[in-house]
């Protein structure tokens, strides 16, 4: 904001009510105050806003949406214009237009039940339900096939029509009889012969529209601005610009001050400074410019002198460059104020990482890397495995005529520089992650610190020497799935975190972090690394379990229960990282919930301040800074701005800490502050000794300490890199080890990690390394302490507080599509996850933006090759015609077109004349898709077998309208779980409606579990006893059910105690006789469905369609011609009818077990005489 000139005016120029409401909505505070800090007008902080501030829609170049006008004139309802005088070089003519406030009159109306009025009303209701204009609604359109109005919406439509016309409910009404608009209109006519109905009379209402949007139209004209380059003017401009960027007064800016060391202007801000200077003085951009050559103010001024000297100023022939004229019209529409209390905030999304199956490597696209005659560096660790792997890898590479140099971590890299000068580098293999972590014993604090240094610091130094185009593949041995299952060697997390961050800075290079099983052999590792080099450039994190390849995806946590536990006043919380940023907000929430004892560890001593100084610091920070400068300068020593800032920040933190301690005590809790540098073992020992004197136990240890210094690799020193990693990694190791020795081992540990560790982030290789190590520790540590709860929270960026809320970072996040966390929502996550009993790594973030984007189409799967692999050997099942795509999140996509005229099982499964895909055929499709993933795409001859199906849901029937063929798509994605693979499968379709509208529908979904273990068939069961009386015959059953011949699976049914028995019709042939090798025996599942349906019809009077199955196990017994029965057991859970079922033959062979099956009622009610045999079956009626 720049104040050009104060405009004199009579009386009050600001409408105070409008101004106060504007300030309230923008700040979120009920009574907001403004202050000036570093020449910036800002809202004075009052803590977390009570309401959510409205989001700014301002963009660079826009003028104000409303200009200051006389309060009296602003009430004028008519068009008005005013001119605001500003400097000559920027003339602005602004016209503010207000629109007359109209009134709206709603008149009463009557609807009579003649033909035209009935038609108009029906079409209006249908138009409202579908969104189609009335003129498009031909009367012969089918409600469901053409307009997408399913049976539920049809029932709602009829209810609306009956209510409007007062038509009584008809029990014999069948919706299928009124499937077109013409028939619906006919229904109304038939129900109201000659009658007329008048709607409720609505009162005439006059609505006054207030605060209508104002439109400001402004034309801006910039005339020539003269620029002088006298020496004094040069210095003044440079110093003014630096003063504006830093907030330091010009008189403090000595010309020999170092931009970064003394003034805190990092390389990013230096680049902004030079851009501003070049733009102001018209200096051409120099490609050879090195910021490090201009590290002081005097050198910057020298740069300007050189750039503006006559010899360096080439004449510019462009008239536009000497005279810049910009004309633009800006239209700004003011928006009505939105009360934040009325806005429903989107809940925070919690996600957990999961290993998902990748296509086998030969089905992936080439990376484009050619190793032949290349040059490669192998960086190895210090154990035998890493040495053997380096030798095997070098042997393969040398056979490809690759020039290989092997380096050992911890040794000198002096020869690398000379070697790199002899030719271009192809890439680097880092094998340091193959080294086994040190033992977890009393010496671990020091040993693990040294081990983590050897894993990543040599690589850090090496990558700064190599060209950005060279590939980097780092290798770890954390269990084959990056520690997510069977975790081992968690120090590898530091290497994987570093590699992920490196990939963000080297977008054009191939970068991978590949994890292997603990028992992987050197030759297998070497061969796999060559494969990963040549194929699949889309995957960054790769896990290798023998032939299977995995990457890491995220799964949302659904319907999490916090349990019955609560915090208590006896709880002791030990928190590292002081009280700054997000930590203070979290502590505030925990203190409010627990009233416990909080021990706060911070590297910064809690400085003493008197009440007067505290008041000035809180109410007028610039004034306090000036006071502080005088005090620091009183000794006569020269005070640099960075010294002043450091002292001011320390006092500001001290004030915030005292406020937090006061809050904890006000809640009824207790707070203890202990000075501790977590990266210093001696300091940690002293601090924990103080803790041991203060409390006799520690319940919760929250490791929130962190140090973040973002800068590109080239600008980052080894000392800084080491320091950032040490706070996260060594800080935890020291604290936990010393706590254990002091017999204060906590029952829960919470790490404050970051999405930088999960995904990597440019400029943060150290921060990513430290955080990813903590996430791996969260999974591994409970293997050493089974009763210990360990959670690693990968925080997304926080708004208002924390590192990401500073400067331009929120804008960068917004552009990247990354949603920032609101403190009020994010803070309770810590306590919630502790009480929920969560463990492992949890990503806490909103939208993840660019982190979620797929790097390439189909994630580098070669779709034609994969499709061919699917067809190799046995012919593909017709339910899965061809493969069309792949993504790590949803898996493979398999498409097929089915024609009911070609498939009897579709024709014989028609409801009201419309063929419907049977749910049991959908289950078979699930299983087929899962088998194809594991055997054809993941690894040849993998040996996976179907162990069970779970959570099957029948969401929407798949209907073949007009007996026409339809296309469908199966999506199947496999996740590694303890017992093998869990394949999440969905069946989806697109239906084209009128006007080209396409409805995307998910019809079925479920999970298929695959295992490498032998499927164990249950021992022979006791065969069911079939009685001679009270039998329901097939003729009676299929008077009630809609199934055609190939789906009439019941020969008869009868009651057996509290269960119902259904006898299988052995004369039926498989509905997929042309499809050999079915996995789930669909007709036997249908036998269970129909038998359960008989019980439901007899006991409730309803016919049900499949809704869901909790679990289904299918055994590979061969049907042998003996009698087969479905034993169905009804049960009630929370008022809902469920069924468990088993299929067994007369010899006791079990074919399948099914549990927690339930249905959804059909719309049509069956006739009583059809229901009677079923009522007798369940004992509700007698014959």
Cβ atoms of 1109 and 952 within 8 Å: the answer is yes
* CATH H-level, domain 355-553: superfamily: NAD(P)-binding Rossmann-like Domain (3.40.50.720)
Task: List the one residue out of 500, 544, 496 whose CA is nearest residue 518.
Answer: 544
Q: Is the pLDDT of residue 343 over 60?
A: no
Higher confidence at residue 139 or residue 597? 597
Kindly provide the b/e burial profile for residues 22-61, where b requires at least 16 CB atoms within 10 angstroms of the residue's own CB.
Answer: bebbebbbeebeeeeeeeeeebeeeeebebbbbeeeeeee
Q: Is the pLDDT of residue 668 over 70?
A: yes
> Cα dihedral sign for 627, 629, 631, 636?
negative
Q: In sequence order, what E strands does 961-1119 have?
A: 966-977, 980-992, 998-1011, 1032-1033, 1050-1056, 1059-1064, 1104-1114
pLDDT of residue 1163: 73
Instruction: Give the span between the Cα atoms of 906 and 917, in whole angstroms.
Output: 6
As a whole number, the mean pLDDT across the chain is 81
**1017-1183: which CATH number, 3.40.50.880, 2.40.30.10, 3.10.129.120, 3.30.420.40?**
3.10.129.120
Instruction: Give the span between the Cα atoms of 667 and 464, in whole angstroms.
Output: 51
pLDDT of residue 242: 83
Higher confidence at residue 960 or residue 652? 960
What is the chain's alpha carbon radius of gyration, rounded to the nearest angstrom? 37
Q: Per residue in 1096-1117, pLDDT tens? A: 999 999 898 899 999 999 987 8
pLDDT of residue 1075: 45
Confidence of residue 46 (pLDDT cuts 50, 70, 90): low
**pTM for the whole thing?**
0.76
Confidence of residue 336 (pLDDT cuts 50, 70, 90): very low
Residues 823-843 have a mean pLDDT of: 94
Q: 100: burial class by Cβ within 10 Å (0-12, 13-18, 19+)?
A: exposed
Q: Is the pLDDT of residue 88 over 60?
A: no
pLDDT of residue 842: 97
Q: Per residue in 493-512, pLDDT tens? A: 999 999 999 999 998 999 99
Angle in degrees, 0-180, between the axes of helices 492-505 and 765-780, rounded to the nearest 10: 150
Q: Is the pLDDT of residue 145 over 80?
A: no
Domain 572-605+669-852 class, CATH top level: alpha beta
Higher confidence at residue 57 or residue 1085? 1085
The topology under which CATH files domain 862-899+910-1007 is Thiol Ester Dehydrase; Chain A (3.10.129)
Residues 970-974 have a mean pLDDT of: 92
pLDDT of residue 315: 41
Lowest mean pLDDT among 85-89, 663-667, 927-931: 85-89
Q: Is the pLDDT of residue 207 over 60?
A: no
pLDDT of residue 909: 87
Cβ atoms of 655 and 616 within 8 Å: the answer is no
pLDDT of residue 339: 34
User: Strand 882-887 vs strand 891-898: parallel, antiparallel, or unpaired?
Assistant: antiparallel
- Cβ-proximal residues to 3 (8 Å cutoff; 6+ apart), any chain: none
DSSP at 1017: P
- Residue 387, phi then psi, degrees to nearest 5: -70, -45
Residues 669-691 have a mean pLDDT of: 96
Confidence of residue 289 (pLDDT cuts 50, 70, 90): confident
User: Strand 427-433 vs strand 375-380: parallel, antiparallel, or unpaired?
Assistant: parallel
Q: 757: burial class by Cβ within 10 Å (0-12, 13-18, 19+)?
A: buried
Cβ atoms of 1104 and 1093 within 8 Å: the answer is yes
Instruction: Give the span between the Cα atoms of 209 and 194, in whole angstroms.
Output: 43
Confidence of residue 22 (pLDDT cuts 50, 70, 90): confident
Instruction: Give the span between the Cα atoms of 399 and 413, in whole angstroms.
Output: 25
Confidence of residue 222 (pLDDT cuts 50, 70, 90): very low
Instruction: Give the span between the Cα atoms of 838 and 660, in whole angstroms.
Output: 27
Confidence of residue 130 (pLDDT cuts 50, 70, 90): confident
The reply to whether 1017-1183 shares the fold of 862-899+910-1007 is: yes
SS3 content of the chain, % helix, strand, coil (to 5): 35, 25, 40
Q: Per residue in 901-946, pLDDT tens? A: 988 888 888 888 889 998 888 888 888 888 777 766 777 666 788 8
Residues 740-744 have a mean pLDDT of: 96
Q: Is the pLDDT of residue 1181 over 90?
A: no
pLDDT of residue 826: 92
pLDDT of residue 725: 96
Task: Choose the most confident range, by mean pLDDT, from 323-337, 442-456, 524-538, 651-665.
Answer: 524-538
Confidence of residue 345 (pLDDT cuts 50, 70, 90): low
Residue 644 Cα distances to 129, 612, 616, 651, angstroms: 66, 20, 16, 11
Lowest mean pLDDT among 39-48, 98-107, 255-264, 934-943: 98-107
Q: Per residue in 775-805, pLDDT tens? A: 999 999 999 999 999 999 999 888 877 666 6
Instruction: Give the span between the Cα atoms of 966 and 1032, in whole angstroms.
Output: 37
Domain ranges of the chain: 105-206, 355-553, 572-605+669-852, 606-668, 862-899+910-1007, 1017-1183
Residues 1054-1071 have a mean pLDDT of: 84
Cβ atoms of 488 and 426 within 8 Å: the answer is no
pLDDT of residue 287: 67
Confidence of residue 674 (pLDDT cuts 50, 70, 90): very high
CA atoms within 13 A on the CB side of 48: 18
Instruction: Give the span between the Cα atoms of 447 and 743, in whole angstroms.
Output: 21
pLDDT of residue 50: 60
Q: Per residue in 517-561, pLDDT tens? A: 999 999 999 999 999 999 999 999 999 998 899 999 999 998 777
Cβ atoms of 789 and 831 within 8 Å: the answer is no
pLDDT of residue 152: 66
Q: Is the pLDDT of residue 204 over 60?
A: no
Cβ atoms of 1005 and 949 within 8 Å: the answer is no
Query: How many C-beta neighbours within 10 Å does residue 454 have?
Result: 17
pLDDT of residue 43: 80
- Cβ-proximal residues to 585 (8 Å cutoff; 6+ apart), any chain: 48, 801, 823, 826, 827
Confidence of residue 759 (pLDDT cuts 50, 70, 90): very high
Segment holding 493, helix H or strand E: helix 492-505
pLDDT of residue 334: 34
User: Strand 998-1011 vs strand 891-898: parallel, antiparallel, or unpaired?
Assistant: unpaired
**105-206: which CATH number, 2.60.40.10, 1.10.1200.10, 2.102.10.10, 3.40.50.300?**
1.10.1200.10
- Residue 1110, phi then psi, degrees to nearest 5: -70, -50
């Amino acid at each position: 904001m720049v104040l050009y000139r104060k405009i004199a005016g009579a009386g009050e120029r600001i409408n105070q009510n409008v101004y106060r409401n504007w300030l309230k909505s923008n700040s979120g505070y009920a009574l907001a105050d403004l202050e000036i800090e570093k020449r910036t007008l800002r809202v004075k902080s009052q803590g977390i806003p009570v309401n959510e501030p409205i989001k700014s829609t301002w963009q660079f170049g826009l003028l104000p949406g409303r200009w200051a006008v006389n309060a009296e004139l602003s009430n004028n309802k008519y068009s008005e214009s005013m001119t605001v005088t500003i400097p000559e070089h920027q003339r602005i003519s602004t016209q503010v237009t207000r629109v007359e406030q109209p009134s709206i009159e709603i008149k009463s109306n009557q609807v009579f039940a003649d033909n035209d009025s009935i038609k108009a009303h029906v079409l209006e209701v249908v138009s409202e339900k579908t969104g189609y204009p009335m003129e498009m609604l031909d009367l012969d359109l089918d409600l469901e096939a053409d307009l997408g109005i399913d049976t539920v919406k049809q029932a709602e439509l009829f209810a609306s029509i009956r209510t409007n016309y007062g038509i009584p409910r008809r029990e014999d009404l069948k919706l299928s009889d009124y499937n077109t608009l013409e028939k619906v209109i006919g229904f109304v006519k038939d129900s109201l012969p000659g009658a007329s109905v008048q709607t409720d009379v609505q009162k005439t209402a006059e609505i006054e529209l207030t605060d209508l949007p104002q439109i400001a139209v402004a034309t801006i004209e910039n005339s020539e601005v003269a620029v002088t380059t006298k020496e004094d003017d040069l210095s003044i401009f440079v110093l003014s610009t630096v003063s504006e960027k830093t907030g330091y007064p010009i008189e403090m800016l000595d010309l020999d001050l170092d931009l970064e060391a003394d003034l805190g202007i990092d390389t990013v801000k230096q680049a902004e400074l030079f851009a501003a200077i070049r733009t102001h003085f018209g200096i051409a951009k120099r490609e050879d410019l090195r910021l490090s050559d201009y590290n002081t103010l005097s050198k910057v001024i020298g740069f300007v002198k050189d750039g503006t000297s006559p010899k360096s100023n080439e004449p510019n022939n462009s008239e536009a460059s000497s005279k810049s004229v910009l004309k633009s019209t800006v239209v700004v529409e003011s928006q009505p104020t939105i009360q934040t209390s009325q806005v429903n905030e989107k809940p925070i999304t919690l996600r957990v990482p999961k290993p998902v199956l990748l296509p086998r490597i030969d089905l992936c696209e080439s990376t484009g890397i050619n190793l032949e005659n290349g040059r490669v560096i192998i960086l190895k660790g210090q154990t035998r495995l890493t040495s053997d792997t380096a030798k095997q890898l070098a042997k393969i590479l040398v056979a490809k005529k690759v020039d290989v140099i092997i380096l050992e971590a911890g040794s000198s890299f002096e020869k690398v520089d000379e070697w790199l000068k002899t030719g271009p580098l192809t890439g680097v293999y880092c094998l340091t992650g193959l080294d086994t972590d040190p033992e977890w014993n009393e010496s671990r604090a020091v040993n693990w610190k040294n081990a983590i240094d050897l894993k990543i610091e040599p690589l850090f130094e090496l990558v700064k020497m190599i060209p950005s185009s060279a590939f980097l593949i780092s290798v770890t041995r954390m269990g084959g799935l990056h520690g997510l299952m069977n975790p081992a060697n968690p120090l590898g997390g530091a290497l994987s975190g570093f590699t992920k961050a490196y990939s963000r800075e080297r977008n054009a290079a191939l970068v991978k972090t590949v994890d292997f099983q603990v028992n992987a052999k050197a030759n297998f590792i070497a061969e796999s690394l060559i494969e990963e080099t040549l194929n699949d450039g889309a995957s960054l994190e790769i896990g290798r379990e023998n032939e299977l390849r995995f990457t890491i995806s995220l799964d949302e946590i659904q319907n999490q229960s916090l349990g019955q536990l609560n915090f208590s006043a006896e709880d002791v919380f030990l928190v590292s990282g002081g009280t700054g940023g997000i930590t203070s907000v979290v502590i505030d929430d925990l203190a409010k919930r627990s009233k416990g004892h909080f021990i706060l560890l911070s590297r910064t001593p809690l400085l003493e301040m008197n009440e007067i100084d505290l008041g000035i610091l809180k109410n007028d920070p610039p004034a306090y800074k000036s006071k502080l400068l005088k005090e620091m300068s009183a000794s006569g020593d020269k005070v640099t701005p960075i010294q002043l800032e450091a002292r001011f920040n320390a006092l500001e933190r001290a004030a915030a800490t005292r406020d937090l301690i006061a809050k904890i005590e006000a809640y009824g809790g207790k707070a203890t502050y202990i000075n501790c540098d977590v990266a210093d073992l001696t300091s940690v020992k002293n601090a924990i000794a103080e803790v041991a004197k203060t409390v006799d136990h520690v319940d919760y240890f929250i490791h929130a300490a962190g140090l973040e210094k973002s800068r590109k690799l080239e600008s980052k020193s080894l000392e800084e890199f080491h320091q950032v990693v040490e706070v996260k990694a060594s800080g935890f190791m020291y604290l936990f080890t010393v706590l254990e020795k002091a017999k204060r081992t906590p029952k829960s540990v919470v790490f404050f990690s970051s999405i930088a560790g999960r995904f990597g982030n440019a400029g943060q290789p150290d921060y990513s390394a430290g955080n990813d190590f903590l996430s791996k520790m969260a999974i591994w540590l409970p293997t050493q302490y089974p009763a210990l709860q360990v959670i690693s929270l990968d925080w997304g960026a926080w708004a208002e507080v924390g590192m990401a809320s500073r400067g331009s970072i929120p804008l960068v996040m917004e552009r990247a599509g990354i949603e920032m966390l609101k403190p009020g929502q994010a803070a309770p996550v810590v306590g919630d996850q502790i009480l929920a009993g969560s463990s492992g790594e949890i990503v806490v973030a909103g939208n993840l933006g660019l982190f979620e984007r797929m790097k390439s189409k189909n994630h580098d799967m070669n779709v034609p090759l994969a499709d061919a692999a699917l067809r190799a050997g046995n012919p593909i099942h017709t339910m899965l015609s061809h493969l069309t795509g792949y993504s790590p999140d949803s898996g493979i996509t398999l498409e097929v077109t089915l024609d009911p005229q070609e498939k009897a099982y579709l024709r014989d499964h028609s409801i009201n004349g419309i063929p419907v895909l049977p749910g049991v055929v959908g289950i078979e499709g699930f299983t087929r898709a899962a088998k194809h993933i594991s055997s054809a795409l993941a690894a040849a001859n993998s040996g996976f077998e179907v162990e069970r199906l779970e959570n099957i849901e029948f969401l929407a029937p798949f209907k073949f309208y007009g007996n026409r063929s339809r296309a469908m798509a199966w999506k199947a994605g496999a996740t590694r779980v303890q017992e093998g693979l869990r394949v999440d499968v969905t069946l989806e379709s697109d239906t084209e409606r009128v006007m080209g509208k396409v409805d995307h529908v998910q019809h079925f979904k479920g999970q298929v579990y695959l295992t490498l273990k032998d499927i164990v068939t249950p021992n022979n069961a006791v065969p069911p006893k079939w009685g001679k009386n009270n039998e329901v015959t097939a003729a009676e059953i299929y008077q009630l059910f809609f199934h055609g011949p190939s789906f009439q699976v019941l020969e008869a049914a009868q009651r057996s105690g509290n269960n119902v028995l259904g006898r299988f019709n052995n004369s039926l042939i498989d509905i997929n006789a042309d499809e050999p090798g079915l996995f789930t025996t669909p007709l036997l599942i249908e036998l269970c469905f129909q038998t359960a349906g008989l019980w439901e019809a007899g006991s409730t009077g309803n016919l049900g369609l499949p809704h869901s199955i909790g679990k289904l196990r299918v055994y590979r017994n061969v049907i042998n011609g003996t009698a087969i029965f479905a034993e169905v057991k009804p049960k009630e859970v929370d008022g809902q009818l469920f069924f468990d079922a088993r299929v067994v033959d007369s010899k006791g062979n079990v074919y399948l077990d099914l549990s927690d099956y339930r249905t959804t009622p059909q719309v049509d009610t069956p006739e009583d005489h059809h229901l009677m045999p079923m009522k007798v079956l369940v004992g509700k009626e007698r014959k």
